[in-house]
Structure 1
Amino acid sequence: MNFSLTYDKETKELIQNRINFTSKRINILPEQLRAVFPHLLETEMKFKMNEDISSYIDHTLLKPDATKEQIKQLCQEAIDNKFYAVCVNSNRVKEAFEFLGKNSVQLAAVVGFPLGVTDTNCKIFETETAIDNGATEIDMVINVGRLKDEEYFEVLSDIREVVKSVDESVKVKVILETCLLTKELIVDACILSVIGGASFVKTSTGFSQGGAKVEDVRLMKLVVGDLAEVKASGGVRSYEDAMKMIANGATRIGTSSGVKISKEKNDVKQNQIDSISDQNLNRNSSSSSFVNPKIALCGAFLTAAISGFFAGYVYQQNSQNSNKKNPKKKK
């Protein structure tokens, strides 16, 4: 399935203006920062969707009262449904790693969660501990207050130091908490995440005033292009919700409703199969009673022509036989 996003004039101007604004805050030339985002010269962004919705899902359990048994169930559901990853609090990583075993399901740990206001050194320590315990991805929360204060060096450094603390194979996702940000700050946060080396920008923690919105996911994708991926999280509870996010650029869905979404996808697929089967049955059952008028007209014409030919042939044969019986006398 193919999708595309178009850069309308207003969005492109917004992004270009924010590049200029952000470049001043981190003391680099605007043209240097623009060079990092060459896709902004395009008018359209195209991408494909993997047909398997399960490969998009980070099966998530971040409740503070989550028990060991619930973490075990989360991991088993991820294995059974072939989800991309599970996402847990950092102090549950070791257990989740054991429950997942040698399965291909990835293990994401949240860092600085859910407020993002812990010191960068604390985020680094939490990240390194999570990696040592088996995490393969890190979902860190941006320092929203520093972003709003326009302390962009501090925000960039916070992201960069966490990225530097892990191996290149480890994907770092930066949670923006979009419900607390203006469009301008969403763009700025995306820019800082990309130049900070993040693999993903992510909408929400699910613990603030709101979750993922289609318009925010779309804007984030238009900013980062192919330089980073977009994870939609917070309030994505149905297959329809997930598909809206994917159609607008999300390549990962963070949700506690992964099993429900997967089931709804299978139900939709089965309904499509049933619909196609019904159409074929109706087509076959009606084939004996329905005749295309054009075919019927050609058939009637052909029948008449054949009948005419045989009638002429019979008349000619009868005439020849009659002449043989009564030959004309020569004069």
Structure 2
Amino acid sequence: MLKKSKSLTAQSLARYFDHTFLKANATINDMKKLCDESIHYGFRMVAINPVWVPFCKEVLKGSDVHVGAAIGFPLGQNTIETKVFETKNSLELGADEIDYVINISKLKEKDYAYIEQEMIEIIDLCRKYHATSKVIFENCYLTDQEKKELCRIACKVKPDYIKTSTGFGTGGALIEDLKLMKECVDGSGIKLKAAGGIRSLETALELIDLGVERIGSTSSVTIVNEFQNATASNL
């Protein structure tokens, strides 16, 4: 079977990317650049902290680039009520997509009912607002069994995506984690998002061939330019 990456164009590659800027010291110029790059390259989404949702929504008006808000970011250590408010507020401000971080402590305590309730409340809100939902696992802190438990819960609640990492933990997207996640949600309709440490074209293509449908990266421009240069050199 032909690998997905073999049939990519620069435009179709760009559509895999959630172009990301989540730094605490972000400026208006940083956000404007993020949006302008996303429009120019045709990225799927800008991944930002909620305070920037109205600004980015305005800059991206008329484009097909989505605005994605990071919820409970990056630690996931807010109450369910706080995460739900943050989600609703972001959606009301214009967010098209929500990436939220699970409560890792509750998972470690095997409080699976809490994890499920948190997921239900956030995903239900996303459905109400017709927004895409993504659940961030932060795999670097989890055992394989904990990853499987999260996948089991996700298969019940049905978010649109499950996601490897915030990019702020001790590790990022790993092929072995994505293979495990893919196997655990196979047939559920849940998609995979890889994020954390994805900085090269080689890595991006490997992820796409594995079946990842979204890639979160701060290096989106570099990766697409690398693809364009490689394609041009083969002409």
Measured against the shorter chain, the TM-score band is over 0.9
Match for residue 192 of structure 2 among 230, 246, 254: 230
C-alpha distance in 1, partners of 2:109/2:146? 11
Partner of 1:157: 117
Match for residue 96 of structure 1 among 40, 56, 63: 56
Q: Spell out, residue by residue over 1:96-148, the C-alpha distance to the aligned partner (whole angstroms, 9 max, x if none).
A: 10111110001110001111110111111111111111111000001111111
**Greater RCO structure (CA 8 Å; 6+ sep):** 2
* Alignment-mate amino acid for residue 254 of structure 1: G
Match for residue 44 of structure 2 among 59, 76, 84: 84
Partner of 1:215: 176
Q: Which runs of 5+ in 1 are unaligned?
A: 4-47, 274-331
C-alpha distance in 2, partners of 1:168/1:213? 32
C-alpha distance in 1, partners of 2:234/2:186? 33
Aligned length: 229
Give the SS at the match of 1:117.
coil
Does residue 207 of structure 2 align to residue 245 of structure 1? Answer: yes
* Alignment-mate amino acid for residue 156 of structure 1: E
Alignment of 1:168-317 (within 5 A): 169-226=130-187, 227-273=189-235
C-alpha distance in 2, partners of 1:94/1:2? 42
TM-score of the superposed pair, with normalisation by structure 1: 0.67
- Quick check: 1:218–1:249 contact (8 Å CA) kept in 2? no
Give the SS at the match of 2:215.
strand
TM-score of the superposed pair, with normalisation by structure 2: 0.93
Does residue 28 of structure 2 align to residue 68 of structure 1? Answer: yes
Q: Spell out, residue by residue over 1:74-111, the C-alpha distance to the aligned partner (whole angstroms, 9 max, x if none).
A: 00000000011111001111111011111000111000
- Quick check: 2:37–2:221 contact (8 Å CA) kept in 1? yes
The structure-2 alpha-carbon separation of the partners of 1:105 and 1:68, relative to structure 1 and needing over 3 Å to count, comes to same
Give the SS at the match of 1:104.
coil
C-alpha distance in 2, partners of 1:94/1:152? 34
Give the SS at the match of 1:250.
coil
Measured after TM superposition, the shift of residue 168 of structure 1 is 6.1
Measured after TM superposition, the shift of residue 160 of structure 1 is 0.5
Partner of 1:123: 83
C-alpha distance in 2, partners of 1:53/1:168? 28
Q: Which has the larger radius of gyration?
A: 1
Q: Spell out, residue by residue over 1:129-174, the C-alpha distance to the aligned partner (whole angstroms, 9 max, x if none).
A: 1111111100000111111111100000001001112326211100
Q: Which runs of 5+ in 2 are unaligned?
A: none
Superposed CA RMSD in Å reads 1.4
Does residue 106 of structure 2 align to residue 106 of structure 1? Answer: no
Give the SS at the match of 1:122.
helix
C-alpha distance in 1, partners of 2:31/2:65? 14
* Segments ≥4 residues shifted beyond 4 Å: none
